[in-house]
Structure 1
Amino acid sequence: MDRVRDRDTEAGFDVREDFRRFSQRDDIFCRSFWDPEVRTHRSDMFYETYRTPKLTWRSVDGFTQRDYALRNASWHVTDIFAELRDGDDRREGFLDPYTSVREGPGSTLPVESPEEMAREIKHAAKTLGADLVGITGNDERWLYTHAYSRENEHEKPQEISTDLGNVIVIAQSMDRELLSTAPSALSGTATGATYSRDTIVLLAIAQYIVNLGYRAVASMNDSALVIPLAIQAGLGEYGRHGLLITREYGPRVRLGKVFTDLPLAHDRPVRFGVKETCDLCRACTKGCPAGAIDDGEPSTVVHNRSNIQGIRKWTTDAEKCFRFWANQNTDCSICIRVCPYNRDYRDRWSRVWRRLAGTRLRRFALWLDRISGRGERLRPSRWWAAPGGA
């Protein structure tokens, strides 16, 4: 237990005695299919806009036919894999782990050094398209107690077990210009395109490990809570908006993971001042039109059954958040757009700002951010008019 507490302290986790693991059935998106408190005509229409080619399009900038056309096209690859085994009551990548991996060679490559193998895995993963890669242990607390059957609207057994003792966590960066158009259907293109890349990279990493003779299960939004795993794997810190904030891309990432029995050395959590900056900053709270983001100190508050119990942290009200998504017929990324860490860190000034935010000068850094105009909404029509599309 002392080892677990030390590991939690290093990661910034405050797990209490009343902690309870989470069932995927209580995820807000799953609830929008079975729970009458969440499922409405508007939520049904929200999902319909991703599937139906003939809709009554809005004339509002960012919600026209071309905006939805590009958003839905961006989801195409990940949708193909999600629907491959619908007849088997599987929605892979979102409710169930991926199974599209060929058999291995039947022989196992000896691993003399977990440290060297971790280095090789990261090198291979980045070659295959991952932007960020971290490795941690399979922490049972973050595994869903049960998976969710959309076909039967009930819980079903969890497929991942702790005998796959290591987790490779990857982060894929999202297009910053597209996200700048939020709220809009166009901004949802950044989400879909990143998930489609995520699918390809996760399956390729899993296949590489299987080719080495080990077991590997590729997982995107299914099977486990990925943000705590990403924090343990050293990819970033937890933000007030409930998202991972990375040094390289801020909160502008989507996450995936590969569970494996390949011997691998683990990474350590990182700190670069996010907690201290979020203690002062309220950009996401003020920017959220649904009023879903915590304004106070970290606490153990549970807004509804879509929140995990027994952890002291900033907690977003998932019901309020999803209701806004449903009402505007697309996902929302306003909290990412306005977050001061949402920057292009290839730019020297952004790197200077990040360094300031990690010091006692963070109030000054936040003031500079406020007066800079960074985070303002880009009109979708301007995105379309830009040379090359962006």
Structure 2
Amino acid sequence: MHNTAPQNDTDARAGIDVTDDFERFAQRNDIFTRAFWDPTVRTKQTDAFFASYRMEAAPRRGDGFGQRDFALRNASWLISDVMTDRFAQDGRREGFQAPISADTPVAPIRFDVNDLTEMSREIKKVSRFFKADLCGITSVDARWHYTARIDVRDMSDAPNDLPEGITSVIVLGHEMDADLVDTYPAATAGAATGRAYSQEAATVMQVAAYIRNLGYEAVPSMNDTALVIPYALKAGLGEYARNQMVITPEFGPRLRFSKIFTSLPLAHDVPEPLGVRAFCDICTKCAEACPVKALPFGAPEVGGANVSALKGVRKWTSDAEKCFGFWAKLASDCAICMRVCPFNRDFRKWYHRLWLRLALSPLRRAALWLDAKRGARKKPSLWWENG
């Protein structure tokens, strides 16, 4: 791996502002990993949160939090869970605390790559075939890789190594169901998250297998190995927003990201600023809607509120402890900040595409005014009744 300098031209184009105080992130400080070992985060509520995914502690209260809502959410995670648990006995919770193991060998004969741009086009076509909704490609950047991975048997640090020769990162986006997102923070809405994770598990494994069949290394990855948001920004898929998400022109914030580390020779995409940062500068809908006020109101700052914050990067940073504490209280994930985001629209419709052009222009205040009444939560019961 390479490129450990604090700042470069691609950073500027991607809206990444790295300072001299930058430190690589330790995966054990991720708020979800801390919930397994850190007594300041792990509580009876967090234990109940994880138990609810096994239907051991599912609450029975209110619209969107009944047995069928949790049943749908948990079923949506099934494929991801099966993949993740395969090697847990060896300390590898793959896709989250470890990269996904290869299920096919690297072919002994390498496919000749004579045109990098054409090879990248083909990889994007193959990614779409395997149900990725977005695909961008960028160079490996060691700054965003965890200093160590976690052995889940005893929560100790373990080597976070990749095979030799890895030069590129393929970043894939997976759309979340819009109707379910509109019901956040209900357990029903969690099915949008789980289904996206199950789909991305299949997609990254299949695309990586395709590349290995061409004779090149390919390591499928979800939340493991490296921070995915910087890679999504570098790959030109979108821009970073106040709600800690990547806003894409195709789906707004309504998607999950995965990645594949590969030695396949590829052309890299160039990020282009769209104007999301300027819009977020005047919009605080996500911060206002956050029940525990975990999102910032002011300008981007260096550092963060606690050890789960990335150090040495000037950006909007949430209070992860407040955020996850609310998740634990609900026994389900909360993405109210995604639901209320003005960019959470169906851009397949012409009038939403027109709004997007307005929002990314100097007339962004008019776009914010037009959005004033959007983002109201839809009743989960209506999702079950409709259609």
The residue that corresponds to 2:19 in the other structure is 16
- Residue pair 2:89, 2:153 contacting (<8 A) in 1 also: no
The corresponding residue for 1:216 is 218
User: Is 1:377 aligned to 2:377, yes or no?
Assistant: yes
Q: Secondary structure at the match of 2:171?
A: strand
Aligned equivalents of 1:162, 1:300: Cα separation in 2 = 33
CA contact (8 A) 1:82 1:92 kept: yes
Count of aligned pairs: 384
2:347 paired residue among 334, 345, 348? 345
Task: Give the distance between the partners of 1:236 and 1:217, measured in 2 at CA.
Answer: 23
List gaps (5 residues or longer) in structure 2: none
For residue 38 of structure 2, the aligned residue among 12, 35, 55 is: 35
Matching residue of 1:45? 48
Letter in structure 1 aligned against 2:219: V
Q: What SS does the corresponding residue of 1:109 show, helix, strand or coil?
A: coil
The answer as to 2:152 corresponding to 1:150 is yes
Post-superposition CA distance 1:129-156 (Å, at most 9, x none): 1100000001000000100122111211
Preserved CA contact (<8 Å) 2:286 2:340: yes
Cα distance between partner residues in 2 of 1:242 and 1:4: 20
Contact 1:144/1:225 (8 A) holds in 2: yes
SS of equivalent to 1:269:
coil
8 Å CA contact 1:101, 1:206 repeated in 2: no
Q: Which moved more, 1:68-77 or 1:268-277?
A: 268-277
* TM-score of the two chains, using structure 1 as the length reference: 0.96
Q: Which one of the candidate residues 202, 205, 211 is aligned to 1:203? A: 205
Cα deviation 1:48-103 (Å, max 9, x = unaligned): 0001x354641311000000000000000000000111111111111111114211
1:305 aligns with 2:312: no
Cα distance in structure 2, aligned partners of 1:162 and 1:278: 40
- Which amino acid counterpart does residue 386 of structure 1 have in structure 2? N
Partner secondary structure for residue 136 of structure 2: strand
CA distance in 2, matches of 1:54, 1:240: 35
CA distance in 2, matches of 1:133, 1:88: 32
Q: Structure 1: 5+ residue runs without aligned partners?
A: none
Cα distance in 1 for residues equivalent to 2:53 and 2:59: 13
Which has the higher mean CA deviation after the structures are superposed, 170-179 or 158-167?
158-167
Q: State the identity as a percent.
A: 48
Aligned to 1:108: 110
Tell me, yes or no, if structure 1 residue 242 matches structure 2 residue 240.
Answer: no
Q: Per-residue CA shift, 1:275-316, capped at 9, x if unaligned?
A: 000000001000100100010001113211000100111001
1:161–1:213 CA distance, 2 compared to 1 (3 A)? closer
Does the aligned pair in 2 maintain the 1:21–1:143 contact within 8 Å?
yes
**Alpha-carbon displacement from aligned partner over 1:252-289 (angstroms, at most 9, x marks no partner):** 01000000000000001122210000000001000100
Contact kept? 1:170, 1:257, Cα under 8 Å: yes
Distance 2:30 2:6 in 1: 30
SS in structure 2 at match of 1:108: coil
Q: How does 1:228-239 map to 2 (within 5 A)?
A: 228-239=230-241
Cα distance in 2 between the residues matched to 1:376 and 1:10: 34
Equivalent residues in 2 for 1:191-340 (5 A)? 191-340=193-342
Q: Hey, what's the Cα distance between the residues in 1 that align with 2:299 and 2:178?
A: 29
Letter in 2 for 1:24: Q
- When normalised by structure 2's length, the TM-score is 0.97
Question: Helix, strand or coil: the match of 2:20?
Answer: strand
